[in-house]
Amino acid sequence: MSEQQLYNKDFEHIISEINNTIDSLYLTKNCYDKNKLLNNLRRQIANITMLMQNNRINTDSMIDPKNPTASKVFTPAELATYTGKDGNLAYVAVNGVVYDMTNVAAWGGATHFGLTPGKDLTGVFASCHDGQPILSTLPVVGVMAP
Amino acid sequence: MKNKTNSCPNQSEKLKLISMLANKAIASIKNGSLKKRNLVWLELTGCSGNIISLLDGVNPGFRNLATQMVNIIYDNSLMVADGEAAMEKLFSIADDDYILLVEGAVATKDDGLYNVIGQLNGQPVTAYRAINELGPKASYVIAMGACACDGGVTAAKPNPSHAVSIQSVLNRKVIKLPGCPCHPDWLMGTLSYILLYGQPELDSKDRPTMFYSTLIHDICPRRPFFDQGIFAEKLGDKTCMFKIGCRGPVTPVDCPIRKWNQHVNWPIGDDSPCIGCAQFGFPDRMEPFISYNTTREE
Ligand code: HEM
Ligand code: SF4
């Protein structure tokens, strides 16, 4: 499992804890229980903050676990080899960040609305998905060379 | 897997909804509390696939529609009148109340001359003229199928007739039922709802949320294979077809529970990937329909 996947798992776990706490808060009438639950909520939020900080540090030293020889900084030529064809992984760059689309459901067969991977798709992404919270859900594998 | 899908009450109720709506409309018309509306079925530039699809529908089917729910004023495939008489009947409705159902895209090149649907007073009537005259006056306009909704196959590259969607030529609300073809239930459900209550709830692209609100991928019986990373390598494999280019994850429609040909089967149930026929952009943007040698498995 990649670091990103581990991170997502922890994240999901804490979020479901938070949701449970909130559900319980609705049910309880006892003010002591309520305080205890609110305390839990604080702790859970602190956990998320910690996780987010860790993740930010991890991205800086990120190496693609499926392909450890690849560097985390991609030149356009390097990116172009991640075509999603003939066994190659499917990478796409948006706003300077490289995402792994290999197992993203919306990119079946490594194509998406006529788009193919191995490219910088910043422009099309902006024209098709502006304002949608999509990028934050995608696995990051590196950045484009400046 | 089949039984599992059908036993979920949320899903089985959705299947029953169409006959419930249609029966309610039929009963209300019978007891006089609801009036039969006029219906114009306009075929523009397409393949007649939507009327053929409707003729395959059951419970409710075409017979219920034609005899118990609406007065069909015009339908080029099924009406008795022909030639100029048919065209006169079509244009005579313009001042009356009518619901306009449109299948096929609008060919716009050379003033629409690429699709002449009849003759009136010795003059050719183009599909372009028909939609421009009948579209604005209708009480509801329903675009059926990929071509009417988004240009579809008719507007696929290189699009020699400059075909466009109905919405591109009409400046009014057009209810869209994309699909290649439109499922009879999608049409009958929408129409019954309109007769009973008026415009159904629509999403941001004017599709009724009754049918177009859940991604195929989210209710696909092969979803457990996707989640476990077990993927089909070729047509005929019984697992998730993500790696060979399944479009279920970008196509929000209810095929997995509704199925086709009188609720018998559907593409994924017969081991071929979803080609996204009910999503805007079909077919050009859904290609390739099948891909081999894609990314390798974990
Ligand atoms: C030609 C431009 C594009 C078009 C027309 C397009 C269209 C769409 C549509 C219609 C959906 C939603 C399907 C639905 O839920 O109904 C979707 C989902 C998605 N698209 Fe795109 N897209 C484009 C470009 C891109 C690019 C460049 C990326 C990646 C960098 C991308 C990544 C995604 C992802 C990850 C989803 C799934 C979102 C989710 O899980 O909610 N798309 N796209
Ligand atoms: S077959 Fe298609 S719709 Fe079904 S789970 Fe796989 S990718 Fe999703």
The CATH code of the domain that includes B44 is 3.40.50.700
A60: confidence class by pLDDT, cuts 50, 70, 90: very low
- Predicted pLDDT of residue B295: 86
B7: confidence class by pLDDT, cuts 50, 70, 90: low
Query: Atom 33 of ligand 1 has which residue's CA nearest to it?
Result: A106
B137: confidence class by pLDDT, cuts 50, 70, 90: very high
Q: Give me chain B's average pLDDT, please.
A: 94
- Predicted pLDDT of residue A132: 82
The verdict on a CB contact (< 8 Å) between A88 and B247 is no
Of B149, B180, B211, which one is at a domain's C-terminal end? B211
Domains and CATH numbers, chain A: 3-144 (3.10.120.10)
Percentage of residues of chain A with pLDDT beyond 70: 82
Find chain A residues with C-beta within 8 A of B250's C-beta.
Answer: 106, 108, 112-113
How many whole angstroms separate alpha carbon A106 and alpha carbon B34? 44
Both B90 and B134 in one domain: the answer is yes
Both B242 and B229 in one domain: the answer is yes
Closest ligand 2 atom to residue B241 Cα is: 1
CA distances from A77 to A89, B99, B226, B251 (A): 15, 56, 31, 33
Q: Which amino acid is at A24?
A: S
ipTM of the shown complex: 0.90
The verdict on a CB contact (< 8 Å) between B295 and A112 is no
Domain-located, residue B296 = no
Q: What is the dihedral of CA B62, B63, B69, B71, to 10 degrees?
A: 90
The verdict on a CB contact (< 8 Å) between B242 and A105 is yes
Option in A90, A106, A112 nearest B295 (CB) = A90
Taking only the tens place, the pLDDT of each residue in B71-128 is 999 999 999 999 999 999 999 998 999 999 999 999 999 999 999 999 999 999 999 9
Domain-located, residue B2 = no
Taking only the tens place, the pLDDT of each residue in A30-40 is 777 888 888 88
Both B175 and B236 in one domain: the answer is no
Domain limits at B80? 9-211
How many whole angstroms separate alpha carbon B151 and alpha carbon B157? 11
The response to whether residue B223 sits with its C-beta less than 6 Å from ligand 2 reads yes
pLDDT of B2 over the 80 cut:
no
Both B206 and B222 in one domain: the answer is no
Taking only the tens place, the pLDDT of each residue in B234-263 is 999 999 999 999 999 999 999 999 999 999
Q: What share of chain A is helix, strand, coil (3-state, %, to 5)?
A: 50, 15, 35
How many whole angstroms separate alpha carbon B30 and alpha carbon B33? 8
Both B106 and B177 in one domain: the answer is yes
For residue B242, report the distance from its CA to the centre of ligand 2, in Å: 6
| DSSP string over B175-224 | EEE-SSS--HHHHHHHHHHHHHHSSPPB-TTS-BTTTSSSBGGGG-TTHH
How many domains would you assign to chain B?
Answer: 2
A113–chain B nearest CA distance, Å = 4
pLDDT of B281 over the 80 cut:
yes
Find chain B residues with C-beta within 8 A of A130's C-beta.
Answer: none
For residue B268, the ligand closest to its alpha carbon is 2
H/E stretch holding A17: helix A3-27
Of B211, B234, B266, which one is at a domain's C-terminal end? B211
A104: confidence class by pLDDT, cuts 50, 70, 90: very high
Domain-located, residue B295 = no
Q: B58 and B262 in contact (C-beta within 8 Å)?
A: yes
Domain-located, residue B117 = yes
Per the model's pLDDT, the better-predicted residue between B189 and A41 turns out to be B189
Domain-located, residue B163 = yes
Helix (H, G, I), strand (E, B) or coil at B133: helix
Domain-located, residue B155 = yes
Q: What is the mean pLDDT of residues B226-238?
A: 94
B1: confidence class by pLDDT, cuts 50, 70, 90: very low
Both B14 and B154 in one domain: the answer is yes
Least confident of A10-14, A141-145, B217-221: A10-14
The verdict on a CB contact (< 8 Å) between A114 and B226 is no
A57: confidence class by pLDDT, cuts 50, 70, 90: very low
Domain-located, residue B272 = yes
**Taken in order B117, B118, B122, B128, is the CA torsion positive or negative?**
negative
β-strand B163-164 against B106-107: which pairing, if any?
antiparallel
pLDDT of B55 over the 90 cut:
yes
Among A126, A138, A133, A72, which Cα is nearest to A101's? A138
- Predicted pLDDT of residue B106: 98
β-strand B140-144 against A73-74: which pairing, if any?
unpaired
The response to whether residue B274 sits with its C-beta less than 6 Å from ligand 2 reads yes
Q: Phi-psi region for residue A31, left (φ > 0), alpha (ψ -120 to 50) or beta? A: alpha
Closest ligand 2 atom to residue B274 Cα is: 2
Both B80 and B227 in one domain: the answer is no
Residues whose CB falls within 8 Å of the CB of residue B243, separated by 6 or more in sequence, listed in order: A108, A109, B231, B232, B233, B291, B294, B295, B297
The verdict on a CB contact (< 8 Å) between B295 and A105 is no
Q: What is the mean pLDDT of residues A88-111?
A: 95
Both B117 and B172 in one domain: the answer is yes
Percentage of residues of chain B with pLDDT beyond 70: 97
Among B190, B214, B268, which Cα is nearest to B1's? B268
Both B29 and B159 in one domain: the answer is yes
Domain-located, residue B32 = yes
Both B76 and B115 in one domain: the answer is yes
pTM of the model: 0.84
Best mutation target among B295, B297, B298 (most A Cβ atoms within 10 Å) is: B295
Both B127 and B233 in one domain: the answer is no
How many whole angstroms separate alpha carbon A113 and alpha carbon A115? 6
CB atoms within 10 A of CB B94: 13
Q: What is the mean pLDDT of residues A64-69?
A: 52
Of B155, B180, B211, which one is at a domain's C-terminal end? B211
Q: Which chain A residue lies closest to B252 (C-alpha atoms)?
A: A106
pLDDT of A65 over the 60 cut:
no
pLDDT of B11 over the 50 cut:
yes
pLDDT of B168 over the 50 cut:
yes
Both B48 and B73 in one domain: the answer is yes
The verdict on a CB contact (< 8 Å) between B226 and A88 is no
The CATH code of the domain that includes B235 is 4.10.480.10
- Predicted pLDDT of residue B63: 95
A56: confidence class by pLDDT, cuts 50, 70, 90: low
